[in-house]
């Protein structure tokens, strides 16, 4: 009996011990897990939750995936995207922390097809000293513009006028394609001094379109795949630009250029290789073309839905014209005085979210707001998540250019909540060019045309790269008393 009693005690003690150990292990495990942001990695080892994340939705919203995850887990959560364990963040403070700590705690880390197609020298992919050096070159190109603002502005005006004049007898246009034509002519003019009707321009454009399709494809290196075709197109663009570089080198050719173009500036620099020059040309073509065309398209769409904004914009540009001789071009001061236009552009960037998110990777394990961000995990700062956050912006889902009234460009209130151009060491070097191009285009467009979208449901979509499904078809009506040089 006593033996049984002992045995009973012994069994109870073991059970208690095992139960306690299990509970302690669970607590430890919980503690360890609880350091990671909450979330769900999905069940599929490679896809994880990628399909949910990339599911198209209007770019003026966060989309179902982000909305649901924010409700369930908060603004910072873990997921499994693009084949990697990932921390997703719509949190303004964390996003700023990530962008400001580039190369220290985080580093740019784009999916394999980007470096695969663009090469290791592309700015988006380059890190550390290589990135610093190439970025310094890119920044100095834009600084060179500042010294010759007026000739630069004249170039842009010529491109804008060329385009709007081409619509003189046209009733409908696919606006996104037209906007792409504009931004492409601007960028090939600035980099290579090519004109819209130069054969090299159409050769580059043709290859560029194939190239763009491959950027979002699955990286399969087989003949005929979008990925492989993009690599070939990049090679062909490189060859076209290489021929121009060699021609300039051999002949000392400066053509009819009134001022040095980007290629001239790069070729005069010490210590930059031909391959680096070609890669930078590609970066600028890529960065400067699609994004700005989308910003302009988003604004044209928003203006058609906001008569008060369109009215105020027209009044501002009519005011500019009143101070000028008939047909006279815009001056730098005119641009600086376009206050409402600036507000409108900023709102278009916030509301339309041309770049939804950027790709990063944690270089070391980081603790932030009580969360552990493990070394090696991908981190996606969602820029639109901040722009559409009701705790940062009043009624964020409304297009309201007046929200920027009185907010100085560097104003603290919105400064760190505005992330359309990224931030930190990778802040977009083309941001000023993008805004200028947009303002100049709007000037000639709103003064010369009225327009109506033919399909009101054709809205900017995040695929997640932004595009309009039907290209934003517009019916155009010339204004009866055009106030610019269009009639000339
Ligand atoms: C509406 C227009 C534009 C938007 C919304 C935009 C947005 C951005 C963003 C968010 C980044 C940061 C990427 C990252 O952190 O990984 C970036 C980088 C960059 N952008 Fe833009 N951009 C625009 C126009 C332009 C233009 C006009 C150019 C050049 C002509 C340009 C060239 C670049 C380059 C070269 C980078 C890489 C910078 C680096 O890694 O150091 N972008 N842009």
Q: What is the dihedral of CA 153, 156, 157, 161, to 10 degrees?
A: 180
Radius of gyration of the chain (CA): 27
- Sort strands 106-108 and 360-362 into parallel, antiparallel or unpaired: antiparallel
pLDDT of residue 408: 64
Q: Quick check: CB of 420 below 6 Å from ligand 1?
A: yes
Cα–Cα dist 472/480, whole Å = 24
Q: Quick check: CB of 106 below 6 Å from ligand 1?
A: no
Q: Quick check: CB of 460 below 6 Å from ligand 1?
A: no
Q: Quick check: CB of 428 below 6 Å from ligand 1?
A: yes
Cα–Cα dist 238/235, whole Å = 5
Atom of ligand 1 nearest to the CA of 123: 40
pLDDT of residue 17: 46
> How far apart are the CA of 110 and the centre of ligand 1, in A?
14
pLDDT of residue 414: 60
Q: Quick check: CB of 295 below 6 Å from ligand 1?
A: yes
Largest distance between two CA atoms of the chain: 116
Q: Indicate the top mutation candidate among 100, 430, 435 to test ligand 1's pocket, ranked by most ligand atoms within 8 A of CB.
A: 430
> How far apart are the CA of 430 and the centre of ligand 1, in A?
6
Cα–Cα dist 119/109, whole Å = 13
CATH topology classification for 57-487: Cytochrome p450 (1.10.630)
Cα angle 63, 463, 80 (rounded to 5 degrees) comes to 70
Ligand 1: which residue has its CA nearest to atom 36?
428
> How far apart are the CA of 147 and the centre of ligand 1, in A?
21
Length, in residues, of the chain: 488
* CB burial of residue 127 (10 Å; 0-12, 13-18, 19+): middle
Q: H-helix or E-strand containing 135?
A: helix 128-147
pLDDT of residue 47: 75
Compute how many other C-beta atoms are within 10 angstroms of the C-beta atom of residue 185: 24
User: Are the C-beta atoms of 205 and 184 separated by less than 8 Å?
Assistant: yes
Structure tokens, 98: 């990530």
Phi/psi for 392 (5° steps) reads: -105, -35
pLDDT of residue 142: 87
Query: For the chain, which residues score pLDDT lower than 50?
Result: 1-3, 5, 8, 12-14, 16-17, 19-31, 33-34, 412, 487-488
Q: Quick check: CB of 292 below 6 Å from ligand 1?
A: yes
Cα–Cα dist 45/340, whole Å = 49
pLDDT of residue 484: 63
DSSP 384: H
């Amino acid at each position: 009996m006593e033996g049984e009693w002992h045995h009973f005690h012994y069994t109870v003690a073991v059970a208690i011990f095992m139960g306690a150990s299990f509970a302690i292990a669970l607590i430890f495990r919980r503690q360890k897990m609880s350091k990671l942001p909450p979330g769900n990695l999905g069940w599929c080892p490679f896809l994880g939750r990628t399909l949910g994340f990339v599911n198209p939705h209007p770019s003026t919203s966060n989309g179902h995936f982000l909305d649901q995850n924010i409700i369930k887990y908060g603004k910072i959560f873990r997921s499994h995207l693009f084949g990697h364990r990932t921390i997703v963040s719509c949190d303004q403070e964390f996003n700023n922390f990530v962008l400001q700590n580039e190369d220290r705690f985080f580093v740019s880390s784009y999916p394999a097809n980007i470096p695969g197609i663009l090469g290791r020298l592309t700015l988006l992919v380059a890190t550390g000293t290589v990135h610093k050096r190439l970025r310094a070159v890119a920044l100095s190109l834009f600084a060179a513009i500042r010294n010759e603002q007026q000739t630069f502005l004249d170039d842009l005006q010529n491109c804008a006028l060329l385009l709007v004049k081409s619509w003189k007898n046209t009733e409908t246009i696919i606006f996104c394609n037209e906007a792409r034509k504009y931004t492409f002519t601007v960028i090939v003019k600035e980099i290579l001094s090519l004109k819209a009707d130069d054969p090299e321009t159409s050769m580059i454009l043709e290859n560029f379109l194939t190239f763009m399709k491959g950027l979002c494809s699955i990286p399969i290196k087989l003949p005929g795949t979008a990925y492989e075709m993009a690599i070939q197109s990049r090679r062909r663009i490189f060859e076209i630009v290489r021929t121009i570089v060699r021609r300039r080198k051999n002949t000392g050719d400066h053509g009819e250029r009134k001022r040095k173009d980007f290629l001239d500036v790069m070729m005069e620099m010490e210590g930059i290789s031909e391959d680096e020059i070609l890669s930078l040309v590609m970066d600028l073509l890529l960065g400067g073309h699609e994004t700005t065309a989308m910003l302009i398209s988003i604004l044209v769409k928003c203006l058609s839905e906001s008569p008060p904004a369109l009215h105020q914009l027209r009044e501002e540009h009519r005011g500019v014209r009143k101070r000028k001789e008939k047909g006279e071009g815009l001056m730098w001061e005119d641009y600086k005085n376009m206050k409402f236009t600036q507000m409108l552009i900023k709102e278009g960037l916030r509301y339309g979210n041309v770049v939804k998110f950027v790709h990063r990777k944690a270089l070391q394990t980081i603790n932030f707001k009580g969360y552990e961000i493990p070394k090696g995990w991908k981190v996606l700062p969602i820029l639109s998540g901040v722009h559409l956050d009701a705790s940062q912006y009043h009624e964020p889902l409304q297009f309201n250019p007046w929200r920027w009234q009185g907010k100085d460009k560097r104003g603290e209130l919105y400064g760190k909540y505005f992330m359309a151009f990224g931030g930190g060491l990778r802040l977009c070097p083309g941001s000023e060019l993008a805004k200028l191009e947009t303002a100049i285009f709007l000037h000639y467009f709103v003064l010369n045309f009225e327009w109506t979208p033919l399909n009101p449901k054709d809205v900017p979509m995040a695929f997640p790269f932004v595009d309009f499904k039907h290209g934003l078809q517009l019916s155009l009506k010339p204004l009866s008393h055009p106030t610019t040089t269009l009639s000339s």
